[in-house]
Structure formats: C-alpha cells, structure tokens
Structure 1
C-alpha cells in the first residue's frame, strides 16, 4: 500500500504537472449545438460563489494592470457586450465586460460572467464585429460550462492516478499514467476551443453582426503572433505549432473552422468599423507610465527615475509584477523592485531577499553610484544544469533585484552578458525623464500621397518593425495601397 508521504509527493508532482503544462482540463462531453440550454450558467455560478467571483475579478485586475478607464473605450466595450447578451436572451445584470490596461494581446472570462479584453487586443482587432466575436468566444466558454468541466476532470485525474499508485505500488507507473491522462485532457481542451468558436458565430448572427468576424478575428491574432515571432527572431509558426500537450488547436485550423461555421450565419451583417475606430482614438498604447516603458532593449521608468538595457538579441516583456528579458540559448533575466529597505550590509540584505536560494561567491560592488551585492548559485532543472546569479541594488527607498539565468552547457558569454546588463542600471537624467512619454493610438484620415511607409514612419518606435506593425495593426498586407479618405491607426508619443 502506498505510504502517506509518497501519496503527498505524488499529489505535489501532479500539481506541478498541471501548473507547468497550463492544463485546461475538461470532460469528454459532446459539443453543444446551441446556447439556450446553458444561458443560466453565469448566473448560477455567481449566485453560488459570490466571494469566488469577486476574488477572480480582483486577481485578473491585479495581473493585467487594472481596468482601463480613459476615454470612451470601457463604455463602448460594455455596450457591445450587452448587445450580445440582449440579442441572445442571456439575461440582465449577469454579464460584465471590462477592458484591462495591459499591452498584452489577450481575452478571457470567468464562469461568473466576467469577460475581460486587454488594450493590446483592441489595438489588433479591426472592427466592432471582430470585438464581438472575441467576446462571444469567451462567453461561449462560460455558456458551455468549460471551467466546471475542467475542475471535474482535474479531480478525476488526481483520484485515478492516486488509486493506480496504491494498487500497483509503483509511483513511476502512476505518473506515466498521469501523462497519458493529461494528453487526453489536452485533446478535450482543443475541442472546447472549437465549441466556443461555434457559439461565438451563433451569438454574432443573432446580434446582426457579420458572421465571418470570428474567422477574421482569429486571423488578426495569427498575424500578431507571426509578427511577434519575427521580433523575437523565431520561426513564424512558433506560437501556432500543434503538439500533444497543446491546449489550443492551431489558429490556422480555427480560422478555417470558423469560416465554415460562418457560412450558416449572416455573412453580410454589420461590421461597424467607424464606431470601433472612434472608440479607440486616443487610447493608451503599450506600457502604462506607472509600470515604466519597455522600448526595444531599453527599460525606462520615468516615475521612479531609473533605466537599464538588456543584451543584444534579447526581448523585454513588461508586466505589473516584473520585467523579463529572454534571449538566445534560453538565457533570461527577471527584474523587480521592492519597498523593503536594506537591513545591514548589502550582502545580508540580498540574502534576506532570497532566503531559500543558496548563494556562493557573494560580494559587494558599486553599479553607477549605487551600492549593490551579487551572488552565484548553480542549480539543476529538467532541461539541464543552469547557472544563476542574483544582483541586488540599493535604490532608495527600497531595493531592486536582477535574477540572471543561463544554461551551464551554453556559451559562457551568456552569463557575462546578463551580468553586464544588470550593471547598466542607472538613474535617468531630468531630460530623459521628460522625453520618456507614453504612447497613444491615434486614428488619422489618409491624404493624397500618403503611403504605409510614410505613415508608419510617424511612429516613435525604433526597433526596425514600424512598417510591419503598422500593417498588422490596420489589417494590411505588404504591397497594399492606401486610398484618400481611408481611416488608419498610427502610434504617436504624447
């Protein structure tokens, strides 16, 4: 019989598997052909778990920079969402639609009827119908009770694997069985995405929108991913490859399925592109000022007054929690600041920030006038040995830290270039603070002689992808011509 501590270890391993794989577990149910039978799903969930609903909403707001409330965007998105609700008879006072102030391209929903879209997503979509399609997809997950199915499947996997371990007395066999279960659950999750797409087409059609918007919105996301891959120096299909562990089907497959589903809808319905552009005109673009700005390889925080620069070939990703930079050979760094003040010397302060990290070769140094400390920790991971380094900097009133990670079997230069990046940390000058301005998305009318190249050149971005970003943002392809009177989006500094 399996001993209790082994059972606990199995449960921990399973929890890690589920978390690392980002599993969206569901039961093997038949896809629904209509939404009428599940229209009470969010109401029932919210009534049964009001505290959970508030907690999930609060967590989403924290993770994605809070609600975006400037201008008319939030009210516009809420109106579009409520039009979908009313046209499909989904009840009143149940659904909420929120714009998150994040440059990430994302949308999701809670089972209590909270639907979230990010600023980054709005900047990619082309019209109101596409926005309705994305929100309809997320509503489809709620209406089909996918979250509840996920919890049920997760509980079943836990119980089944533990029982296998108990009966066979072989934890390795149990974990192998768990992997097979996870692969099967992934397939169910991919079915969910297709089901949510089909529900989105139904919701669009009943609301009078162009039913092809579901396929078009997916194509926008595919175009965005292709551009992101180019910026990162990766193959164009890197974000869309199918694997046995993928929770989502390939976007190209979803586009084709959505096009087929649209044939049974209203392909001549409204798109309302002008209303969409009017709502987005002047919207904040990219990072919000309170989180600092990732500009190419540079990170600048004018409100706190510091900057640093990632190595060549690295790409910065800013979030409310941290700044990350990923580069060649799986090397990366994570930067963050804390209000915790130094306590004693810098080495002791650094160790207290990372109490569970065994640091060796700890020493003090000065980085552009700031007291600092650093320590090294070789450690192992599932992908092989990696070298880790911590750098802590005394930046009043608190401490800023870099976590630097490179593979021990990779080029030695990776560890050194990351350490050098940490040593670029410095205070911004008054003129740099004044010049570090947020960016806005502005709608302009094409004039005679305007070209994509000319309009893209007005963007303050200097990363070599201004034209590609302009084309993607406006749903254009290389070689497309602009017509006088056409409305397009550009990015400008305040």
Structure 2
C-alpha cells in the first residue's frame, strides 16, 4: 500500500538530503565526495588541541639535529602530497615505543623508538609518507566523524573503571586521536601514498617494505604489550610486503626515477647515540620500586599492579581496575596551598586531614570524597548513576617541589585498599643510593666492521650477549647469519 508523504515529512527529507550533501567533502586523494562532519577548520582545531597534550604526555626528544631532519623531510614531502593547504608540523617524541602517528590538522609524530629501528633514510621516508597519507586522505577526520575513538593505552585507559579514570590527567579525549584505529582500506591507501610520496622526493620505496618485516619481527619477539602501531589493524604483513614492493616498482616506472636514494650510512650516523628503550633518568621501576634519579625520590609499587610512566605523572593501577594511584607535581608554595589546588581541580570534599612527617619530609595526609554536581536538578540523578569515589592523598614537600601521591577507589572499596595506599605513601623517601642516582640510559652506538664476518660474530665482538643477539639483529634489520662486509656500519646498544 502506497502512503502519501505529508508536507512536513517531505520537508524533513529535503532538509536531511541538504544536510548530508553539505556534510560531503571532496577527498584530496581520490577526488571523490566523502561524507564527513569534520570541516577543515575543525580538523585544524583538533590538531591544535591535541598537540600540546602529545608533547605533555611524551615530551619532545632533545636532539636538534633529528628534529631538523624530520621537519625538513616532512616539508619536502608535503610539497608533493595531495594536500598542501595545511600547516604541517613534524616532531620526534621521547618514547621508546616503536610508533609513528598523525592527528588531523597536519601534525605528525615519530617516536625515538621507531627512529632507532630505521636503518636508512628510505625506510624513514616510506613511513613518513604513510603518515602524511593519513592526513592527505582525511582518514583521521573520517574516523572522528564515525566516533571511532579508541582507548588511550595508558594504565587509566586500560584497566580502571570510568569513575576512577577521570583522575588520570593524561586521559584527555583529544589525545585519543593518536590511537584511532584505521581500517585496512585506509592502511592500504596510506601505504600506497607512502610509496608515491617517498618515490617523488627521490627515495627507493622498496626499503619501506623491508621495514614492515622489522616491525613484524619486533612484535613476534616482544614479551610486552603488542606494538600500538602499524600492525594491529593492518593487512597481513607478508601480503603487505609484496604489495609495497609492487607499488614501488610501479611508481619507479611511472616517474622514470633513477639514482633513487637509500642513504644508509648518513642515517645511521644521524641516529648514533639515540636513547634506546626506557630512559632511567625519567624514572624506572626495579624490583617493585619506582626510582626517579633526576628528582631523587623513590616509593614502592604494589605487587601485581600495572604502571605507566610519563613526563607529567606516574600511574599505578590494580589489575581488576578497582583502585589506582597517581603521582604528580602540584602547584603551590605551601602544602596547604597545594592541597587547595588539588581539591579544587578534582572537585573533592575533605573528610579528614592531618599534618605529618614521612621519612623526614613535611607532608599532609587527606581523605576526601568527590563533590556532587553543583546543579540541583542533576545532583540526584548523578548520585544515583555514579558511585561515590573516595581518595587518600599524601602531599610531600621535597626539594622545592610539592608532590601529590593520590590513591583512588570507589567509596565501597576504600577500606579494602587503604592499607595498600598507605603502605606506598608512607615509604615515599629521598633517593640516596649512588648506583641508582647515576643509572644511565642505553644508547644506539654505530660501529664500523673491521673485517667481513657474520652479523652474529660482529655483534659478539662488541660484547653483545647471546640473549640479546636476536634483539640486535632486529634492530639492524638483518638476520644473524647475514654477511657484513669490512667497512660497513652496524648498530649495537651500549650505555
């Protein structure tokens, strides 16, 4: 039976059609119209909001030569890309994780971890083109339009309940843009663009395919969390390798490119001395104790708790997500002033507080509950929907800083975790052990091979232990039985 369409319904259909059409944007890469509810101005605003959070979360890697290098190559590649209408920024962040990522608005980040694992400029250029490709093809904007925000990969995002996660300063929504999971079609398109862009600026894109094998080997060897990277949502690595090789051949034929660059030696010399793995100067955990050599303090981590270190805070979380602790710096000249800042920031209401001394340090212990919503109309609904949160916080005055070590749980669980919170907080103390204070980071060291031999034999000559041979082979993008010729360069890791 046919139904008549009323005038009001017809108007609604027309409005909907106009809205959808107005929400379409031409994809710079394909030239096709995509449905997108994110404008160029919104993309730029998203990137501008995310960028300071990225830098706060990871920190910039303090190497001017490397920062100049990524910016120079990035701007060179933008000039041949499909999208030149953005102001791009390229940065290397101080993280050991092997990763590269882009956010809307033209912001591209490489970790020092991925820089250490490249073995020539051509590998680097292929991945750089891949990330620029995500921006050029508006992949991040499309994902945001579909509301496909992923977890942050922090302890707060991984394990704790939403009521507790609000206390994780780093868990900002815009920072979640870093962890958008692109679909396989988007990844294939970015691989294709990586090949195209790197070829156009004169690099041999075959080496981009080789780096994917390094990533796969690294993930297979890793005993930690999977790499939050190119692999989790990407095409099968073997298929991807072959596809990129074919794309490289096609683009070399299209551009009639000759004398394509690899630049192995110059790149290895550029990364010589780069920090490898965790940097103990930024704090490290050993035998369930967190040590910070630069700030000169230590405290225990509860047995079995997950933890995450970042420049602005150290988080610990009980693995069932029922409790967490976080150490942060708090502004203020006195403990009382710092306490007011903290209470206001988290909207906490003091239950009790006491001035104490902890291992010779002036401290303030505070039990506080989260304040209810100020809006009377929302207050009853909020109290019904959200369980009450209770906190135990110790504020310490030490070396001109004030530190907050806060334990957080639902009020119903607070007594269960009170002793754990207190045990950690009452063992906050000055770090005085010279061996821990002087702990140095491992660094990539580039060595020249004296005579032709196998990689395994060459690594042993530089005192690489047997248990680290495979790790060093992956770092070099080689197999242990590969021949290395006299005069060639390899990477080893030393302090």
Q: Which bracket does the TM-score occupy, shorter chain normalised?
A: 0.5 to 0.7
Q: Normalization by structure 2: what TM-score?
A: 0.63
Contact in 2 for aligned 1:190/1:248 (Cα 8 Å): no
How far is the alpha carbon of 1:213 from its aligned partner? 3.7
User: For the residues of structure 2 that align with 1:61 and 1:251, how far apart are their CA atoms?
Assistant: 26
Contact in 1 for aligned 2:394/2:406 (Cα 8 Å): yes
User: For the residues of structure 2 that align with 1:419 and 1:480, how far apart are their CA atoms?
Assistant: 53
Contact in 1 for aligned 2:307/2:316 (Cα 8 Å): yes
Contact in 2 for aligned 1:294/1:317 (Cα 8 Å): no
How far is the alpha carbon of 1:281 from its aligned partner? 0.6
Aligned to 1:201: 195
How far is the alpha carbon of 1:140 from its aligned partner? 0.6
CA gap of 1:75–1:372, structure 2 versus 1, over 3 A, is same
Contact in 1 for aligned 2:202/2:261 (Cα 8 Å): yes
User: For the residues of structure 1 that align with 2:27 and 2:337, how far apart are their CA atoms?
Assistant: 62
Unmatched segments (≥5 aa) in structure 2: 1-22, 34-38, 149-179, 253-259, 371-382
How far is the alpha carbon of 1:369 from its aligned partner? 1.9
| 1:24-75, Cα deviation, whole Å (9 max, x unpaired) | xxx999998x57899xxxxx958x99887666544543443136334x3223
| 1:167-192, Cα deviation, whole Å (9 max, x unpaired) | xxxxxxxxxxxxxxxxxxx9975533
User: For the residues of structure 2 that align with 1:97 and 1:81, how far apart are their CA atoms?
Assistant: 7
How far is the alpha carbon of 1:361 from its aligned partner? 7.1
How far is the alpha carbon of 1:86 from its aligned partner? 5.1
1:103 aligns to 2:96 (yes or no):
yes
1:275 aligns to 2:277 (yes or no):
no
How far is the alpha carbon of 1:336 from its aligned partner? 1.3
| 1:184-215, Cα deviation, whole Å (9 max, x unpaired) | xx997553333222221222333443434444
Aligned to 2:361: 370
Contact in 1 for aligned 2:199/2:205 (Cα 8 Å): yes
Aligned to 1:337: 329
Task: Spell out the pairing of 1:83-162 with structure 2 (5 A cutoff).
Answer: 83-85=76-78, 95-150=88-143, 152-153=145-146
Task: Say which SS state the counterpart of residue 282 (structure 1) adopts.
Answer: coil
User: For the residues of structure 2 that align with 1:483 and 1:279, how far apart are their CA atoms?
Assistant: 20
The structure number with the bigger radius of gyration is: 2
Contact in 2 for aligned 1:473/1:489 (Cα 8 Å): yes
User: For the residues of structure 2 that align with 1:401 and 1:364, how far apart are their CA atoms?
Assistant: 14
Aligned to 1:293: 283
User: For the residues of structure 1 that align with 2:391 and 2:470, how far apart are their CA atoms?
Assistant: 36
User: For the residues of structure 1 that align with 2:337 and 2:126, how far apart are their CA atoms?
Assistant: 56
Contact in 2 for aligned 1:315/1:325 (Cα 8 Å): yes
Aligned to 2:398: 395
Contact in 1 for aligned 2:183/2:234 (Cα 8 Å): no
How far is the alpha carbon of 1:445 from its aligned partner? 3.2
User: For the residues of structure 1 that align with 2:88 and 2:283, how far apart are their CA atoms?
Assistant: 33
1:302 aligns to 2:285 (yes or no):
no
User: For the residues of structure 2 that align with 1:197 and 1:54, how far apart are their CA atoms?
Assistant: 26
User: For the residues of structure 1 that align with 2:468 and 2:410, how far apart are their CA atoms?
Assistant: 33
1:257 aligns to 2:240 (yes or no):
yes
1:319 aligns to 2:310 (yes or no):
yes
How far is the alpha carbon of 1:144 from its aligned partner? 0.9
How far is the alpha carbon of 1:319 from its aligned partner? 1.6
Task: Spell out the pairing of 1:204-219 with structure 2 (5 A cutoff).
Answer: 204-219=198-213
| 1:96-146, Cα deviation, whole Å (9 max, x unpaired) | 433233434432334443432221221233322221122111111121123
Deviates further, 426-435 or 353-362: 353-362
User: For the residues of structure 2 that align with 1:265 and 1:489, how far apart are their CA atoms?
Assistant: 27
Task: Say which SS state the counterpart of residue 250 (structure 1) adopts.
Answer: coil
How far is the alpha carbon of 1:277 from its aligned partner? 0.8
CA gap of 1:344–1:223, structure 2 versus 1, over 3 A, is same
User: For the residues of structure 1 that align with 2:392 and 2:220, how far apart are their CA atoms?
Assistant: 33
Aligned to 1:487: 489
How far is the alpha carbon of 1:374 from its aligned partner? 4.2
Contact in 2 for aligned 1:339/1:399 (Cα 8 Å): yes
The two structures, once aligned, show a CA RMSD in angstroms of 5.0
How far is the alpha carbon of 1:280 from its aligned partner? 0.2
User: For the residues of structure 2 that align with 1:124 and 1:387, how far apart are their CA atoms?
Assistant: 44
CA gap of 1:353–1:92, structure 2 versus 1, over 3 A, is closer
User: For the residues of structure 2 that align with 1:424 and 1:307, how far apart are their CA atoms?
Assistant: 8
Q: Normalization by structure 1: what TM-score?
A: 0.63
Q: Which of residues 454, 469, 472 is equivalent to 1:470?
A: 472
User: For the residues of structure 2 that align with 1:385 and 1:444, how far apart are their CA atoms?
Assistant: 58
CA gap of 1:339–1:96, structure 2 versus 1, over 3 A, is closer
Aligned to 1:183: none
Contact in 1 for aligned 2:133/2:194 (Cα 8 Å): yes
User: For the residues of structure 2 that align with 1:129 and 1:476, how far apart are their CA atoms?
Assistant: 16
User: For the residues of structure 2 that align with 1:391 and 1:222, how far apart are their CA atoms?
Assistant: 44
CA gap of 1:367–1:473, structure 2 versus 1, over 3 A, is farther
Unmatched segments (≥5 aa) in structure 1: 1-26, 39-43, 156-185, 241-246, 459-464
How far is the alpha carbon of 1:398 from its aligned partner? 3.2
